[in-house]
Every structure is written in C-alpha cells, then in structure tokens.
A and B are shown apart, each in its own frame.
Chain A
C-alpha cells in the first residue's frame, strides 16, 4: 500500500510530523480485507461502536449519579424523572449492556465456527478473552450501582464466591467489601472500578485491533489472502457493510429502549437494597446465566475439595479455558465449512450454552416436565461444555477428515458466481 499524498496543506503539515492521516488511511481506507466476508464479520466493529456509546452514556450518567448507599437508588430515580433525557441515557446504557453481550457473544461464536483463533491469530483471540472477562466484571459492577435489591444481592453473591478460596477466602471477601458486608465502601469502589474498566477494555480493544491488522481478518473460507485478487479495500466496501449492520443493531437496541426498556431487568431491582431481606429468587443478568449454571452444577465434593470451591473454579475455568483453545484445537483447517463433523459439534456446543443459560435462569431445585431435575441437566450440560474443549477439539483434529479447501479466496468466489451469458 503506497502512502497517500495529501493535498490539503494543513493535513500535509501535520501528517509530515505525525502521520495520523496516513495511518488512518492505511488502516481504515486502503486496509485490504478479504473479499468474501459475510455479515457475521460485522460484529467486531459493532462491539466497538457499542463500547463507545456505553462510555459516552456512562460518563454522562455519572454526572448525576451518587455512589452512596443513602443516595444511589434515589439518584437513579432522579435521573429517570427529573434530569433532562435522563431516562433516555439510562435506558440506552442499561439495554446497551445486553446489546454489548449479544454482539460480543455472536462475535465469539463466529470465531469458534470459522476457527478465527488459529495460527497466527492466537494472541488476537486471547486479547478477546481478556476483553470478555473485563466486560463481565464491568457489567457486574454496573449492575450493582442502582442499589436495588438485585444489585445488592448480586454483589453479595458474587463477592462471596471468593470465600471458597481455601484459608484466606474470608479475608479476601472482607477486603473486597471494605467491611463486614456489602456496604458503602463496596458501592464506592464498584463505582470507581466501573468507571475505570471500560477504558481498560478500550486499551485491550486497541491491542486486539493491532493484532488483527497484522495478519488481517480471517474469512468464511478460513484460508489466507494470497494476493490483491483476494482482497478489497476496507473503505467503502466494509465501511458501508458495517454501517448497514449498525443500522440493524440500532433498530433492535432502540426498540428495547423505547418500547420494552425493562425487558432485561428483574423487577426486584426497583426495590431499594435491603441488607436484611434477600429476594426469593436470585438470578444474574442473562449474559452470565450459563456460567451461573456451571457454578451451581457442582454439588458434590471431590476427595477433600469442597463442592463450593469446585463450583467457583469451574465457573472461572469455563471462560479461562477459551485462552487455551488455539492449542486444544488440533485441526489445521480453520473454517467449519470444511469440517463436516466439527460443524455438528459446534451446534451441539451452541445449544449446550443455551441450555446452560436456561438452567441458570431457573431456581436450583426446579424440575423439567415435573420429572427431570434441572440440576441433572445442568450437570450434563456442564460436563459437555468442558468435554467439548478437552476432548472434542483435540480428537476431531485427528479423527475428522476435512473436505477439500479451495485454492484461494478469489478462486472460490469466481467458482460460486454464475457464468456470464454466452460463456458456456
């Protein structure tokens, strides 16, 4: 890619000293992108835009929010009723959390389906896992800030997870709380960290993009770009495609904001936090439910290790195991398009995640069709979740016989196009 020549004298002057315009042109305009990306490749840029909107609305909300146990709940209600457009900014932010996770989960499953985590994109993938972890921490702490009943008890339950740590568990929990229960110091530090973490996510996204731009996007065929015939410039082809996707996302997001703003929220969170009464049914936000199901699936001790500790370890392991995926997957073929057996396991895994989410949403001792305890289903789902990583991924690479991978992206594209009239 040649460095562009700038005609505007001011742009020229700046670019000679700080080549910011050349950099942007190189990374956002000329940037060679596989010509065969489908709409599943929209979700990375969508996630980036959602992050920016979340940071903007969040900074604004912080102008009227008061992180104190006596004022937090009322200050959120004041934002809803008295502050100009407070209802809009809060609902955009609140539903934005859910939109962020929908977009990012689709982005992750896209990576799983098309093998985007494979050589040479392992660090790109690992950065993504860190972003996901940071998002979960941020979302959890943000959920605590309105200081409703679900906020308070989510804070209590999640921080109490650390009490499972042997020997120092109680000391860690007390350190997290800054006291002997979730109270004002906890709320203060959660607000502080909820404000900080999005900027850390922003930095991680930058590293994620840096790694992306070294080896460029993967693509539905999972084969490398071999020359200019395999790529098209990012602008205007993918800027316009991403803009269209953004429009669709906005329609969905704004539907919730304007017509079902509390769809994702538990009604109990409009009751102010009461440290003396726990709501009858505690559930996390939907995006954490599969992990919550894994936590609750472990009801048995293994040797001397208590069930509580194993549950917590399993829950964290269910995310951290993604870090090892590039090495657990032994197949050299990236895209599930050419892996007939993996493709089926991918969908089994996808359904397994949905089932775990459904289990996580239900009370722990509920029955399915009045017969099967949900606990059993959750345990089977949890077992499969881990087996998928430690057994299915390594073995398929050996046992599966992939289909023929096309010679190049352009060859596959040309082959897929109908022949021009008169050429037969």
Chain B
C-alpha cells in the first residue's frame, strides 16, 4: 500500500532503480505505440486505391491540326497538348539559355518536336494559364499567359516573365503509336 513506499529494495548506488527503468520502458513503449497508431489515421487521408487507379490517361492525337491545342484531364489536372507550328518550334529552340528563368532546352521538354505536352497549372499558385484557345491572350512570348498574377510562358511552356518560379512541368508520357499517347 501507499504507506510502504519508503524503502525501495531495488535502489542502487547511483540513485537509479528498477522503478526508473520500468517508468522509462513503459513510457517508451507507450509513446512508440501511440506514434504507430497515428499512422493509419495519416495514411487514411492519402490518395486511396481507386484514386490511384485513375492515374493514367490515353489521348488520341489524330484530330489535332497543326497550330491547335487541346486540354485533357490527367489525375484531376489539365494537361495541355499542343501541335506546334514550325515557326513556334524554331522560336522555342532558338532562345538562348541566358534569357530563361529556369534554363531548359526545348529538346529536353518534348519527345517529338511537333507535340508539346505539359501540365497546364501555373507554377506560381495553381491557376490555369490562358492560350489554349485561339483568341485567348498568349502573353508576350506567344505561348501561355496566366491571368491570376501575370506569368508569361513561351512556346515551349517555359516561364519568361512574371512571378511563377518554374517552367510548366512535363508529365510522364509515352507515344503508344504515332497518334496516341499515354499520360502517367
């Protein structure tokens, strides 16, 4: 009982005893167990299996004319698919690296020079840049223009002016044949 706690037979010379060991061991096991129990709650909020299953999108490129763009949805985000004109390709390839905010060769951003495929989400704060449809502002570099905070992207989707820090990202994709791609 409470009255008989005065003498601790397990006490050693250095002032540590079995009780200290038990207290630390118990607390440690309890803390580790609680931390482990948190993981299912955290992982519960991650993308679920059915969401991950929608991670690829196939796109038929055949109806797209030269100089036309389409927007497809991949993982809930817009992907810009543009069949570039020879002029656009030429401009994109001729830009000196020193002029770029995030230097990147045009050749590194496309698998086939005709087809520019990138995620159409502004790298500043997530708006969708304009320039997909004819008549929309394309910005000072004739590519895309984000209306939210004025970021200008060139014909390779690289950031040239404005607050966005990075070029429009390129999603993983492959050509299944000449007119079909699989994104993701």
Contacts and interface: CB of A to CB of B under 8 A. Distances in A.
Contact of A89 (B41, B49, B50): B41
Contacts of B2: 35, 232, 237
Nearest to A83: B48
Contacts of A89: 40-41, 44
A83 B44 contact: yes
Given A60-B44, A89-B41, A89-B44, A81 B49 contact: yes
B44 A63 contact: yes
A237 B40 CA distance: 32
Contacts of A64: 44, 48
B41 A56 contact: yes
B50 A78 contact: yes
Contacts of A83: 44, 48-49
Contacts, number: 42
A85 B43 contact: yes
Contacts of B39: 85
A83 B53 CA distance: 12
A63 B50 CA distance: 15
Contacts of A60: 41, 44-45
Contact of B40 (A85, A413, A417): A85
Given A35-B1, A35-B2, A84 B50 contact: no
Interface in A210-240: 232, 237
Contacts of A81: 49
Interface in B38-66: 39-41, 43-46, 48-51
A378 B50 CA distance: 49
A133 interface: no
A85 B44 contact: yes
Interface in A98-127: none
Contacts of B46: 84
A86 B41 contact: no
Contacts of A417: 1
Interface residues of B, number: 13
Contacts of B51: 82
Nearest to B3: A229
A69 interface: no
A84 B49 CA distance: 7
Interface residues of A, number: 18
Contacts of B44: 60, 63-64, 83-86, 89
Interface string A68-96: 00000000001001111110110000000
A88 B39 CA distance: 11
Contacts of A232: 1-2
Contacts of B43: 84-85
A78 B91 CA distance: 50
Interface in B49-104: 49-51
Nearest to B52: A82
A84 B1 contact: no
Contacts of A78: 48, 50
Nearest to A78: B50
A236 to B, nearest CB: 9
A417 B2 CA distance: 13
Contacts of A85: 39-41, 43-44
B35 to A, nearest CB: 15
B48 A88 contact: no
B45 A86 contact: no
Nearest to B46: A84
A64 to B, nearest CB: 7
Contacts of B45: 60, 63
Q: Which 9 A-B pairs have the closest CB atoms?
A: A85-B40, A82-B49, A82-B50, A84-B43, A83-B48, A82-B48, A232-B2, A85-B44, A88-B40
Given A63-B45, A86-B44, A89-B44, 18 more contacts: A35-B2, A60-B44, A63-B44, A78-B48, A81-B49, A82-B49, A84-B40, A84-B43, A84-B44, A85-B39, A85-B40, A85-B43, A85-B44, A86-B48, A88-B40, A237-B2, A413-B1, A417-B1
Interface of B: 1-2, 39-41, 43-46, 48-51
18 contacts: A35-B1, A63-B45, A78-B50, A82-B48, A82-B49, A82-B51, A84-B40, A84-B43, A84-B49, A85-B41, A85-B43, A86-B44, A86-B48, A88-B40, A89-B40, A89-B41, A89-B44, A417-B1
